[in-house]
Structure 1
């Protein structure tokens, strides 16, 4: 029964609460027991607040017993990435430079929305230092591991959230994505992750990496992500770029058909090198989409690798974030982040403005591309998960940078389009493979609909890691 509870969807939990078949206290305790049993190996959490979680669960139980649930996710166990402010809890950002004493007096908009809707917050999940890279290890919290194989990375920078999600430590998880940081770990751990259109989910404080950074849901099903997006989306006065509230019902949108939708399938975006097992799994997934009635064209969107644009914006953002650090603090940083800080100092205003202009041209190209195609599908990642403690797989160590094995994610942070990762297969070694679905700007409901259609026929939609290897 415990495994049924920890792997149950949020939608199922809410149904059971409504029927008084089970209590939020039982579900929360099961999630806490799962954390106690497995997180010593996985290291997905930087903070677990058992006392607060159970207090929240008891309050939720009372509301459900009275027939007065507080919101859309009342009593659902949820985690918060340790990049997002949470009142009463430190936000350490994986860095020794942050004083845990606080004070911590504010909730980020997304945390506030979850609290207002009754979510039971279990704790905060790990991140690399300031969320700077695509794997999750940091000077402050050490290495986070993949539930499918603890010798492999869970990805990053929302790697704690992905490990917790895949291991049944909560149903709903908050992630952030500035270059792939929701989709990368979702792809590596076999869960669903959605990067919403920029502004769909309000952010405060704004990421130092600026307008490439998004906040979104990480869950074990598309339905749960749609539910979570319903809670998170909307305006907030603290975010001047937030979109106005939408009348879209994201759960209702899932019921639409993909039949007749025009999908561009790009195996490599015209410039990426892809692991053969990844390529084969994605191609099979595209065939399944076609069998569902989608119209498939194999075509690239026609842009060159925008990595120089991304690096200019990303590195300058890192330098800006750390510009007031002392020499001692800089020397205590993750060495890779310190290198990025140094490179960022070399970027001129002209460099930055040229990158901004090139970014706009890329966005226009994709707007025009989506006049012909409803969706673009690609691999989520060019490789399966690799060994923990490394920034790149062994065969790519000479290249080194995490962006070299994530060629499919960062372009769509530049364009700000909605994009998700959904499991589409397993390697011979039993590691998850992800399919990325990219939608036209602001078409979050379309991306979720397409993902839900695929999930309904996916052979690995409900696959779980064997956690016995962790104990």
Structure 2
């Protein structure tokens, strides 16, 4: 078994299936073998579905051999699914001992889409409890680690999905994003994540009504992210907010020469590490070399006003929901979960949703005005390269030689959950001196998904995956 096989992109694998140079069974067996080797170190899988997946791979193989219906868009491609994306008849714990014994009664919309497109769900991936934070460890599943550096976290909340991609145990994965849960893991693991504009991809109730949140793809390449996004996009009767009619990203993206991009390093007053700044500037320079006009701008945002908006929002919605879920069982949840529930309860007492909305709408206007005359905005995904694995980060902490008061000061993603109709593509920007990836966000105008993918594809062409030679974790 070679790294070349287990790190194939989904689009490469499908082309090999079509030419009969590779079978879905061969690919799945290679991924299973890889998982047996690396999972004890990485711990990205909450559940393994290898036997069922092998049966599905044999059926997909028959389709490529002309026995039965024609292959579908994801035919034979293994997909790791975030555990919170329900599969009927299987456990739905969201990483919490509180939910032990809970069984899903129906598939999540994204699960139905993957299966209908011929994708093979071979594993379910880990999250923090209730997907509430930017790292991935729980009392139920233990610590999930970053394949690039095992004492670092792959981020959260879609940390297991991103770790599986980087480790070579899945070519595609599902994710969700309410404050950066797709984009932060993408940055920390050198993968690609898409935060779709609100309503583009259907979700499950009741959080589908939370306009900060959305489900989406994680992948190793921009083309793969587009492939999975096109499968997931479209209306669903279970989600009133899902947009009708559906849309589709193009199969190919034109060169980005002549486009205009605004570069914003600090999104107001975020403090970023030197490595993050260097890699972000080098990413912008690569776009300039490709004929893109890049102009550096500033935004008038502050972390304090962002905190005010998120306090009002999470206090009213997500925090209240998690609080209901753990009520009376606080003794079995992680310290970070208890802290989140307590913070959200206090937030409801000291601010109002209307106060938060005033901040949100002001920030939305400020972003639109700053982006006027540009096709997109480029900025870091996180202020640091990674967070420590297994740490609850409840107080001040130090990363990359720099001290931070709270995790919200590190994650630069939440402004674009506030600007919730903007598509955001997270792509790699390079590595630190110790080999850990960093990432950037490409932010588009409202519902202009194609532009962020066009720029992401350009970056992949001119700065391939922003990685050094032999760009897979050694593990």
TM range (shorter): over 0.9
User: Partner of 2:288 in structure 1?
Assistant: 290
More off after superposition, 124-133 vs 60-69: 60-69
User: Partner of 1:142 in structure 2?
Assistant: 142
User: Partner of 2:398 in structure 1?
Assistant: 395
User: Partner of 1:263 in structure 2?
Assistant: 261
Deviations 1:199-225 (A, max 9, x none): 111111242892111111111100000
Structure 1 portions without partners, runs of 5+: none
Task: Note the aligned Cα RMSD (angstroms).
Answer: 2.1
Partners of 2:426 and 2:439 within 8 A in 1:
yes
User: Partner of 2:440 in structure 1?
Assistant: 435
**Pair 101,325 (structure 1): closer, same or farther in 2 beyond 3 Å:** closer
User: Partner of 1:63 in structure 2?
Assistant: 63
Residues 1:409 and 2:409 are matched in the alignment: no
Q: Distance in 2 between matches of 1:271 and 1:183?
A: 20
Secondary structure (helix, strand or coil) at the match of 1:281 reads helix
Deviations 1:73-92 (A, max 9, x none): 10001011111111232121
Provide the aligned length of Structure 1 versus Structure 2.
Answer: 465
Residues 1:122 and 2:122 are matched in the alignment: yes
Q: Structure 2 length normalisation: TM-score?
A: 0.93
Alpha-carbon shift at residue 404 of structure 1 (Å): 1.5
Deviations 1:90-148 (A, max 9, x none): 1211100113352x231111110110010010111000000000000112111100101
Q: Structure 1 length normalisation: TM-score?
A: 0.94
Deviations 1:315-356 (A, max 9, x none): 333432134346541222221221221222231496122102
Superposition map of 1:419-458 within 5 A: 419-458=424-463
Alpha-carbon shift at residue 173 of structure 1 (Å): 0.5
User: Partner of 2:231 in structure 1?
Assistant: 231
Q: Distance in 1 between matches of 2:100 and 2:327?
A: 17
Q: Distance in 2 between matches of 1:307 and 1:353?
A: 14
User: Partner of 2:242 in structure 1?
Assistant: 242
Superposition map of 1:213-362 within 5 A: 213-252=213-252, 254=253, 256-305=254-303, 306-325=306-325, 328-346=328-346, 347-348=348-349, 351-362=352-363
Secondary structure (helix, strand or coil) at the match of 1:251 reads coil
Q: Distance in 2 between matches of 1:84 and 1:125?
A: 10
Partners of 1:136 and 1:155 within 8 A in 2:
yes
Q: Distance in 1 between matches of 2:372 and 2:256?
A: 17
User: Partner of 1:87 in structure 2?
Assistant: 88
**Pair 241,131 (structure 1): closer, same or farther in 2 beyond 3 Å:** same
Secondary structure (helix, strand or coil) at the match of 1:179 reads coil
Superposition map of 1:130-209 within 5 A: 130-207=130-207
Partners of 1:209 and 1:314 within 8 A in 2:
no
Secondary structure (helix, strand or coil) at the match of 1:69 reads coil
